[in-house]
Every structure is written in C-alpha cells, then in structure tokens.
Chains A and B, each alone.
Chain A
C-alpha cells in the first residue's frame, strides 16, 4: 500500500523556514483533513468492532465492544471458529483455497488465448462473437444456475470441486477476454509481425513475446478473479453440499445460530474468512484497482 505524502522537502530547509512553512498551513486545510480522517474512522468502525469482538468474551461484547472498563481478551473465538461443530473453518478455509486457486489461474490461460485471437486475427463472426462476449458479462448467476445444476448432475460433477471450478472458469471468460483483448490492442504489433516473418508459430509468438508483456494485465485478472471466487457464495451453495466440502463463505454463513449469536466466535470466523481477499487486495492493490477501473465489469 503506497502512502503518498506530499514533499515538504524539509531536509533542505533551515529550521526557521520549516516553522514558517508549517504555519502557512491554512485552517481550512486542517479542517479538511480532520473531516477526511473522521470519515475514514466512521467507515472503519464496523471492521474495528468485529476485530474487537473477535478477541473479547461475549458478555463484554454485549455490553458494547467500545467499553473498555472490563477487558479480558481471549482467543476462544478463533479456536471456536476453527473447530466449530457444524462449520469448522479448518476445513472450510482450505476448501476455499482448493477451489479458488485453480479457478483463478485456469481462466487466465484460456482467456489469454481467446483474447489474443480477438485482438490479432480477423475471422468470420469475430465481431458478432465479441459482441456476444460483451453481453455475457452482465448475465447474473441466477440465470444459469438451474441448467448448470442439472448439467453437473449428469456429468457426475455435482458436489464436486471440479464442477465448481469449471463454472467459475466459464463465468470469468467474458470479462477477462474483454479486458485482455483491449490490453492486447495496446501492444505494438510490429514485434509480433517481425517474429512471424522470422517463421515463428503463432503459439510461440504468444508465449514468448506477448504473454511476458501482458504480466501487469494478468496480475489484474489474478487479483480480481481470486477475490471474486473466494467471495462467491451462490454457486457454492447450489453446487457444494457435503458438510466437509463446504467453502469458507458457506461456513461463515451457517454460523449465526437461530437463537442468540455467539459474537466472539462469529466475529473471529468473519475475520478469518475476510482476511484472505483483503491480503490479496493489499498486495496486488495497484493491479486490482486498475483492473476494476479499466471497464472490468465484475463488481
């Protein structure tokens, strides 16, 4: 995460000049900054609350996690979530990784090949196909789930990660191809043409020349897709049913019980499940944001 601080070039100034500079800071600017930081505090409050709740015993939470008169931190929440009787996170987190990693990398390969065709080749129906692709980006999961449910059953892939991974892959293709095709269009064609003249096959050109230059775009796809798949719930609840196969999002959704909610455990679980996409986002932030903004249709 980059912290962009304006350069005050304090090192180059003599002490008196420093003071003068600081005094020049207008009142409105300070107010502005206070407002901005105030807003961020408000926005962060729920996360702060959940973090506090995850390390404090239930009675303290029910009294208000912002009250610190009694403060006995505990790890019971995390242990409880990890070993939860109905929805243990020790399995669920691993399961989510098992699904998310292939669902992130496989589509990238497929999409890259596809996008390259759209960017570099003219073939009949190309523009129609591309239009369809753009349209497909907007299809909601609900529109495809019933037939997919039935297809997976006939393929014997219901309640099977391979089925889920295939679905995630297919769903990723429209927006990833759209994104990559636009990216490829920005790459100068001359290098590839030169290689072609030298007799290189299309595949070789693709893997040795184009792909390396595409890494930043691929990083964007990785970041966005990983977060999307990890966070998915809808496909998971329809396609994955066995208790031991449940994914993290399903596990955490099953935790708030019918009666009083054990906030210590539920908060800890929430943190364990959301920390993964947050870390990915933080590490790949630049690419994530770029991907999101560059007309990535994935919300």
Chain B
C-alpha cells in the first residue's frame, strides 16, 4: 500500500518520535557529551576515561596476572563473566533443548528451567545468596553429605569465590533462555533432513555436526548476542548480594557506573563508563543488528 499523504504517518508516528527522542536518543547523545565534562562542567576531553582506567576498581589486570584472587576491576570482571558464562549457558541450553525434545513432560521441564528468566534479578540474587549460604544453603549441605564439610562457607562472602559463585549462578538463571531459543531452532529444522541422513547411514554425531549445528546458526547468533549483552549489563544480582563487594570483588561496569553517578556524584566518570559499556554493546550486537536490518 503506498503513501497518499505524509500527514497520516506523522500522526501515527508522532508519539513514538517524541518519546524516543526525549527519552532515548537525546539521553544517549547527552551522556556521551557529559563524559567529556569535568567537575564544574568544563570540557576535559578524555580525562574521565583516563581517570576511570586508572582506577583499580575498574581496571586491575596486575592482580590477575600475579595470580591473586579478585578484585581485578569491573571491566575484567565483566570479561570473565563473558568467558565463563557464555559457553556454559550455550552448552547447557543446547544440551537441554536436545535432551528434552522427545521426553514425556518435556514442556513442563522446559518451563521449570525457564523460570529463572522470568523472575526479577533482585530475587535471583537473593536465591543465589540463599543457595550459597553457609548454613541455609543447599550447596554446603551437599558438600557436607559428600564429606567435604571442611570446604563449607558462605561463598558470596569472600573475595576469592564470590565472582565465580555468581557467574555459575547466572548460568543457572540464563540457561533457560538459550534452551528455549535452541528448542525453537531445533523445531525449525525440517524433518526430512534428519530422515535423509538416517537413510544415508550417518551417525548421530555426524548428523549433529553437519545438519543440526549449521541449521542452528540463526538461533546461535541470537543466543550469543543476547547473552553477551546481558553479561555486560549485570547489575541487580551484584547489588543485592554485596553491592560490588567484598572489597570490590564482584564489581561490574553497570554497578560502577551507578555508584559513580549516584554515590560519588561524579557524572563525568559515570558517563564515561556508560559510554564504554555501550560501545562494547554495539560491538557485540553489530552482527545481529546487521542481520536484522537486512530483511
């Protein structure tokens, strides 16, 4: 249907344009601008960025290189999150999607696994704190049963273990997402391909590698991109448990940005962190966005 008058779409589009400009587009540009301003709103160029990188709370690779326990700085923490959480969630999601395909009650199980995605992340943080608690937590309960009672502690109370504990906890939360997307992806693979492979005598592993994996590429792109974006934006969980502690061992970029802005009232540095976060986000999402726009 082609346009007759330009008036109509404007009316249809006006509220959208108004809201987006005021609350999304302008703020994005404004934040970048603020990141170049100093204490008294004077232009300071890249000073805020340099300042942020000089903070051990944000960038402390020395600690990592020396083999010490965290903190390594928010940027590195997000990086570790990505390195561990992404492959694990992908793997478990795909595994569950395949496993539960032909199981009786598979739909119920999938819903159960997906619950982690539906709850508020503040509650998610509380659940993780609960699981890791010294006395009330199942993890320690299990350790005691298996005879490893000496190892028990509140895992989220120590700088050495909190980051890892939270990352694994978020795998539990996020696997539901990759599972659902892969499930949909699997359903989308035409049955004939599998039947043909069977007739040709292909092994299950071969079928998996040559048919399933390539056919799941679109799903994988979605899962990888969304997971990366989520890992960059972790906030609620870390806030609820230790607000970035203990000793900064669970500090992440989103939280650091928030504390800079609303605790230290240093909007310039906060904006710098936010801008860096967004640049990373764009970088990671670029491929998916490109594909979305192609249609």
Q: Report the separation of the CA atoms of residues A132 and B292 in the bound assembly, to the nearest whole angstrom.
A: 12
User: At the interface, yes or no: B293 with Cβ under 8 Å from chain A?
Assistant: yes
Query: Which of B22, B111, B130 makes the CB contact (< 8 A) with A49?
Result: B130
User: At the interface, yes or no: A178 with Cβ under 8 Å from chain B?
Assistant: yes
Interface size class of A (residues with CB under 8 A): 35 or more
Q: Are B16 and A110 in contact, with the CB atoms below 8 A?
A: yes
Q: Are B120 and A273 in contact, with the CB atoms below 8 A?
A: yes
Contact residues in B for A70 (Cβ distance below 8 Å): none
Contact residues in B for A18 (Cβ distance below 8 Å): none
User: At the interface, yes or no: B226 with Cβ under 8 Å from chain A?
Assistant: yes
User: At the interface, yes or no: B27 with Cβ under 8 Å from chain A?
Assistant: yes
Contact residues in A for B274 (Cβ distance below 8 Å): 140, 142-143, 145-146
Contact residues in A for B233 (Cβ distance below 8 Å): 140-142
Q: Are A278 and B281 in contact, with the CB atoms below 8 A?
A: no
Interface set, chain B 247-276, CB cutoff 8 A to A: 253-254, 257-258, 261-262, 267, 270-271, 273-275
Query: Which of B2, B126, B180, B236 makes the CB contact (< 8 A) with A122?
Result: B2
Interface set, chain A 157-211, CB cutoff 8 A to B: 166-167, 169-171, 173-174, 177-178, 182, 189, 192-193, 196, 202, 206
Known contacts A4-B107, A43-B113, A143-B274; decide if A117 and B9 are in contact (CB<8 Å): yes
Shortest distance between the CB of B227 and any CB in chain A (Å): 8
Contact residues in A for B184 (Cβ distance below 8 Å): 289, 293
Query: Which of A46, A147, A202 makes the CB contact (< 8 A) with B130?
Result: A46
Contact residues in A for B120 (Cβ distance below 8 Å): 230-233, 248-249, 252, 273-274, 277
User: At the interface, yes or no: A47 with Cβ under 8 Å from chain B?
Assistant: yes
Interface set, chain B 1-57, CB cutoff 8 A to A: 1-3, 6, 8-9, 12-13, 15-16, 19-20, 22-28, 30-31, 34
User: At the interface, yes or no: B136 with Cβ under 8 Å from chain A?
Assistant: yes
Q: Report the separation of the CA atoms of residues A2 and B105 in the bound assembly, to the nearest whole angstrom.
A: 9
Counted as pairs of residues, one from A and one from B, with CB atoms less than 8 Å apart, the total is 279
Contact residues in A for B25 (Cβ distance below 8 Å): 132, 136
Interface set, chain A 131-163, CB cutoff 8 A to B: 131-136, 138-149, 151
A-to-B contact residues, CB < 8 Å: 1-6, 32-33, 35-37, 39-40, 43-47, 49-50, 53, 61-66, 110-111, 113-114, 116-117, 120-123, 130-136, 138-149, 151, 166-167, 169-171, 173-174, 177-178, 182, 189, 192-193, 196, 202, 206, 227, 230-234, 238, 248-250, 252-253, 255-256, 261, 263, 266-267, 270, 273-274, 277-278, 281-282, 285, 289, 292-293, 295, 297, 299
Add 18 more A-B contacts to A123-B9, A231-B119 (CB < 8 A). A4-B107, A40-B108, A46-B127, A62-B136, A63-B135, A121-B2, A140-B233, A141-B233, A144-B28, A146-B274, A151-B27, A170-B20, A174-B20, A253-B125, A263-B130, A270-B127, A274-B120, A277-B120
Contacts A/B (CB < 8 Å), 29 sampled: A37-B109, A43-B113, A43-B172, A45-B138, A46-B131, A50-B127, A64-B135, A64-B141, A110-B19, A134-B289, A136-B20, A138-B229, A140-B278, A143-B27, A143-B28, A144-B27, A145-B258, A146-B30, A151-B22, A227-B118, A230-B120, A231-B121, A233-B122, A249-B122, A250-B122, A274-B120, A281-B114, A282-B111, A299-B230
B-to-A contact residues, CB < 8 Å: 1-3, 6, 8-9, 12-13, 15-16, 19-20, 22-28, 30-31, 34, 96, 99-100, 103-109, 111-116, 118-123, 125-131, 133, 135-136, 138, 141, 172, 175, 177, 180-181, 184, 222, 226, 229-230, 232-233, 235-236, 239-240, 253-254, 257-258, 261-262, 267, 270-271, 273-275, 277-278, 281-282, 285, 289, 292-293, 295
